Amino acid sequence: MPGHEPIMAYVLAVANQKGGVGKTTTAVNLAASLAASERRTLLVDLDPQGNAGSGLGIPRDTQPAAYDVLLGHTPLSEALRPTELAFLSVLPAGRDLVGAEIDLVSSPRRESRLVAALAPAAADFDTVLIDSPPSLGLLTVNALVAAGGVLIPLQAEYYALEGLSALIETIEAVRQSLNPALRVEGIAITMTDPRNNLARQVEADVRGHFGASVYRTVIPRNVRLAESPSHGKPALLYDLESRGSQAYLALARELLDRRAEREVAAEVRPLDGGRLHA
């Protein structure tokens, strides 16, 4: 219709600089769950390990890939790959992404390369999920500058709490200097075992400190969830009835419900300063 602005993709960075907290598992399975609900979803694998792409059946040596897009060598549309889910596409990491931190240092607007890369896809997707590296380097900063929100997977153990304050400080620094729209979308407690007293205590502490920012949905330790990446499938395609698969479907519903509540009070804004966000 004349004058109608297309709805722009909501960009969500999945980030935690501590490895082994279920970050990539969350990015892959949340993306798959959103796609299963027929939301047009793009998963950007910005982790040089390339596990998000391989977890969806994309070979690690796929070219062109994220490095080529970030450096401006290849348009995003030429690097996207389809998956078994009709509504899910992937920008794979590729083998060269490990060198991107060095190559981006001398690039103009080095913190905003992902913004520029994603801009042409603004109207093609409902949600863009970014699997960030387990660090607070330049690739993670690019993810935070491009995003409207950050989803933080947090393992229910003591050491996982130690790095959380550093990540939140980084998010706040990026919000103040580079992306005023950035917010903590939520904290997802992952890899938990309700029989473990420490896990229950950590969860209680996190909920006590962060309140409503912590999702009600908790992701359990689950064998089928752990097995699915080796088959190149998200959990819902590997074993839909598994506890892990059902937990991520519930997390996707909770994420969508939260966004819908916000959109009742505010219109979805168009591209703002090069960023894609609601």
pLDDT tens per residue, range 13-43: 999 988 888 999 999 999 999 999 999 999 9
pLDDT tens per residue across span 84-95: 999 999 999 988
Q: What is the dihedral of CA 143, 149, 155, 157, to 10 degrees?
A: 110
Any domain includes 102 = yes
CATH number, residue 131: 3.40.50.300
Any domain includes 251 = yes
Any domain includes 253 = yes
| Domains in the chain, number | 1
Pairwise CA distance, residues 71 & 214, whole Å: 35
Contact 55/96 with Cβ under 8 angstroms?
A: no
Length of the chain equals: 278
What's the pLDDT score for residue 183?
93
Q: Is the pLDDT of residue 267 over 80?
A: no
Any domain includes 272 = no
Q: What are the φ/ψ torsions at residue 128 (nearest 5 degrees)?
A: -120, 120
**Which residue is it, tokens 């933080």?**
152
58 falls in which pLDDT band (50, 70, 90)?
A: very high
The burial of 251, by beta-carbon neighbours within 10 Å (0-12 exposed, 13-18 middle, 19 or more buried), is given as buried
Q: Is the pLDDT of residue 278 over 70?
A: no
Pairwise CA distance, residues 223 & 25, whole Å: 13
3-state helix, strand, coil in the chain (%, to 5): 45, 15, 40
Q: Which residues contact 9 (CB under 8 A, 6 or more apart)?
A: 42, 118, 121, 122, 123, 124, 125, 126, 127, 128, 276
Q: What are the φ/ψ torsions at residue 191 (nearest 5 degrees)?
A: 50, 45
pTM of the predicted protein model = 0.90
Summary mean pLDDT of the chain: 89
For 82-107, letters b (16+ CB in 10 Å) and e give ebebebbbbbbbbbbbeebbeebeee
Q: What are the φ/ψ torsions at residue 171 (nearest 5 degrees)?
A: -60, -45
**Which residue is it, tokens 């919000």?**
175
Any domain includes 130 = yes
Contact 45/142 with Cβ under 8 angstroms?
A: no
Contact 150/171 with Cβ under 8 angstroms?
A: yes
Any domain includes 88 = yes
Which range of residues forms the domain containing residue 65? 10-265
The long-range contacts involving 220-223, CB below 8 angstroms and separated by at least 24 positions, are: 220/191, 220/192, 220/193, 220/194, 220/244, 220/247, 221/191, 221/192, 221/193, 222/247
Any domain includes 3 = no
Any domain includes 38 = yes
277 falls in which pLDDT band (50, 70, 90)?
A: very low
Q: Is the pLDDT of residue 197 over 80?
A: yes
Q: In what order do the strands lie in the sheet with 183-190?
A: 81-82, 88-91, 41-45, 127-131, 10-14, 149-155, 183-190
